[in-house]
Homo-oligomer: A and B are copies of this chain.
Amino acid sequence: MPVRIAIFDDNKNIRESITLLLQTEPAFEMAGSFPNVLDCLDDVKKSNPNIVLMDIEMPGMSGIEAVRLIKKEFPGVLVLMQTVFEDDDRVFDSICAGASGYILKNHLNHKLIAAIKELQFGGSPMSPSIARKVLNKLQQLPEYVKPEAAPDYHLTPREKEVLACVVNGLSYKMIADQLFISYETVRTHIKNIYEKLHVASLAEVVHKAMKEKIV
């Protein structure tokens, strides 16, 4: 069964040249070709592609928003961004929106077929400079999202509930109401939490809990 491919690009020449290019591969089948993303959900539904080629700069809605919508509605569709932009924000936004590949247009033609095949077989084709940016982004993430061997503080289920309340800024009294227990019990739990986390104030608890993503 051939791979069905849909294109979103406002430039007619590009759409046509990509169509021609893809026709040289019998394994590919053009599912659709659209000049904007205003009806992208409908377009995808009707053309039923396996892979979507998405331009970023587009009249009306941005290609990035379109990716978000498409991935939400059709999680199985793979999206390959193709654009001239390589500023960090757009790259990162596209990926967060659900793109599975990102190639720059300047070396589009001689890479596109390989990229689609790579996508199809579980890869994520990226232009070299994009790949580097992506790795740099991961390296620059704040410590607390990186996989540190999150130490286990042996908090009991109830203590974790109390902790969650604390992190959300509730006072002892509010926590007591929330959990239908007395003020004193809340205090006991929090004392135990302090003990187990080796801290001594709400601020420290919130900090540690968020940093080590215990909550």
Contacts and interface: CB of A to CB of B under 8 A. Distances in A.
Contacts of A128: 118, 121-125
Contacts of A203: 166-167, 169-170, 202-203, 205-206
Given A138-B138, A206-B207, A132 B100 contact: yes
Complex copy number for this chain: 2
B131 A141 contact: no
Interface residue range, chain A? 35 or more
Contacts of A168: 207
A110 to B, nearest CB: 15
A50 to B, nearest CB: 15
A19 to B, nearest CB: 25
A131 B124 contact: yes
Which 7 A-B pairs give the minimum distances between C-beta atoms?
Answer: A123-B128, A169-B204, A124-B131, A206-B206, A124-B132, A202-B203, A210-B210
Interface of A: 89, 92-93, 95-96, 98-101, 118, 121-129, 131-132, 134-135, 137-139, 141-142, 145-147, 166-171, 199, 201-207, 210-211, 213
